[in-house]
A = this chain, B = another copy of it.
């Protein structure tokens, strides 16, 4: 039912140092301890860790997440502020996704250019059947 830091580390793929660091800066709520002061992660803690980890992977700043967690700990009264943070972050992620998708298309065109223009030129060179200069790099600078 509850996990040590080693188990959490394995389950979520974060280092023990990172988990302690996250807790220290308030990126996850304080974790319960046993008599000896050793952390005892509950399923609830696990859900937070997963959420934070995914948000970080999506490029959300630690700063914004700390604020969200802090508001959460202040109770129901902060619900709309928290919701607003989520909406803002959602918008930022969506914007990044959009620009990354544009980049994917751009890369696809560029890769295709390599297939159509540059690689055949190389093959000709390899065949040792060179009959003059072909498709120079200068054509591909964007």
Contacts and interface: CB of A to CB of B under 8 A. Distances in A.
Interface stretch (A2-10, A19-27, A30-38, A46-54): A46-54
Nearest to A142: B47
Interface string A84-126: 0011011001101101111110111011001100110110010
Given A93-B104, A136-B76, A114 B86 contact: yes
Nearest to A117: B79
Interface residues of A, number: 49
A48 B141 contact: yes
Interface of A is mostly: helix
A18 interface: no
Given A79-B114, A111-B90, A97 B97 contact: yes
Contact of A80 (B80, B93, B119): B119
Q: Which of A76, A82, A110 has the most CB of B within 10 A?
A: A76
A76 B100 CA distance: 28
Q: Which 3 A-B pairs have the closest CB atoms?
A: A47-B142, A83-B114, A79-B118
